[in-house]
Amino acid sequence: MAELQRILYVEDEPDIQAVAELALETVGGFTVKICASGEEAVRDAEAFAPDLILLDVMMPGMDGPSTLEALRGIPALAEVPVAFMTAKVQPSEIEHYKSLGARDVIAKPFDPMALSDQVRRIWQGAA
């Protein structure tokens, strides 16, 4: 089983982008590509060929679930595990996201120091 290397992170909020990028690259040592919107992710994801995709839920334009659906439509990405990142983490909400095809849900606010391990665990669960 291959190592988790390439992570596509879709997030519209620049501050969070910065924090998450730092956490994943510096702490986790992953290769991270940040997309500022769902549309951008759908456009660039295949070329980036991520091992894992992290999706913010609430975004202007395409929100997380619709981005997921669009990404699933790309054959090369059909099997790539996806995790949502959201502040709405009531159990019922988590169930809902999983039913949409998400591997897991990462609660916001996340712990930057623990984020990489969390992501790796999700990926391993998927593998």
Partner 1 sequence: MRALWAKGLLDTPDEERFDRLTRLARRMFGVSIALVSLVDEDRQWFKSRQGLEAPETGRDISFCGHAILGDHILEIRDARADSRFADNPLVTGEPQIRFYAGAPLVTSDGYRVGTLCLIDGQPRQLSEDERRSLRDLADAVEAEIDSTEQQALSDALGDLRRLGDVITRAQSEFIRDTEQDRSQAFDGLLADILELTHSEYGFIGEVLYNPEGLPYLKTYAITNIAWDDATQAFYAANAPRGMEFHNLETLFGAALTSGGPVIANDPARDRRSGGLPEGHPPLEAFLGIPIEHGGERVAMLGIANRPGGYDDSLVEFLQPLLVTLGQLTDAARIRRQHRADQEELARLSRVASETTNGVIITDAEGRVEWVNDGFTRLSGYTQDELRGRKPGKLLQGEGTDPQVAARIGAAVARGDPFQVDMLNYHRDNRAYWVRIQGNPLRDEHGRLQGFMAIESDVTREKEDAERIRESEQQFRSLVDNIPGITYRCLPDDDWTMLYMSDQVDPLSGYPASEFIDNAVRSYASVIHGDDLARVKGAVDQALRAGTDWVVEYRIRHRDGGIRWAQERGSAVRDDAGRVCYLDGFILDVTRDRENREQRQRQLEAFAALNDIASMTTLGLGEQLERALQLGTDFLGLELGIVSRIRGDDYEVHACVAPPGTALEPGQHFSRSRTYCDLIFAKGELVAIDHMAASGHRGHPCYEQFGLEAYIGVIVEVQGERYGTLNFSSVQPRPVGFSDGERMFVRLLARWIGSAIERDAAARALRLSETRLRGLFELSPVGIALNDYATGAFVDLNQALLHPTGYTREEFIALSYWDVTPREYEPMERQQLERMEATGRYGPFEKEYIRKDGSRYPVVLNGMVVHDNTGRKLIWSIIEDISERKRIERMKNEFISTVSHELRTPLTSISGSLGLVTGGAAGALPERMQAMLEIAHKNSKRLELLINDLLDMEKLVAGKMRFERREQPLFPLLEQGVRDNQGYAERYQVRLVLDAEDDGARVVVDADRLQQVLANLLSNAAKFSPEGSEVRLAVDRDGERVRVSVSDHGPGIPEAFRERIFQKFSQADASDSRQKGGSGLGLAITRELVERMDGEVGFDSVPDEGATFWFELGCHLDEARG
- Contact residues for partner 1, defined by CB under 8 A: 15, 18-19, 22, 57-65
Rounded to whole angstroms, the Cα distance separating 112 from 114 reads 6
**C-beta of 58 vs 127, nearer to partner 1:** 58
**C-beta of 29 vs 61, nearer to partner 1:** 61
**C-beta of 97 vs 123, nearer to partner 1:** 97
Instruction: Provide the minimum distance between the beta carbon of 71 and partner 1 in the complex, in angstroms, as a whole number.
Output: 16
Instruction: Provide the minimum distance between the beta carbon of 12 and partner 1 in the complex, in angstroms, as a whole number.
Output: 8
CA distances from 103 to 14, 61, 85, 91, 115 (A): 25, 23, 11, 15, 15
- DSSP H helical ranges for 1-127: 14-21, 38-48, 64-72, 91-99, 112-126
**C-beta of 14 vs 125, nearer to partner 1:** 14
Which of 93, 94, 95, 85 lies closest to 115 in space, CA to CA?
85
Instruction: Provide the minimum distance between the beta carbon of 18 and partner 1 in the complex, in angstroms, as a whole number.
Output: 6
Instruction: Provide the minimum distance between the beta carbon of 24 and partner 1 in the complex, in angstroms, as a whole number.
Output: 14
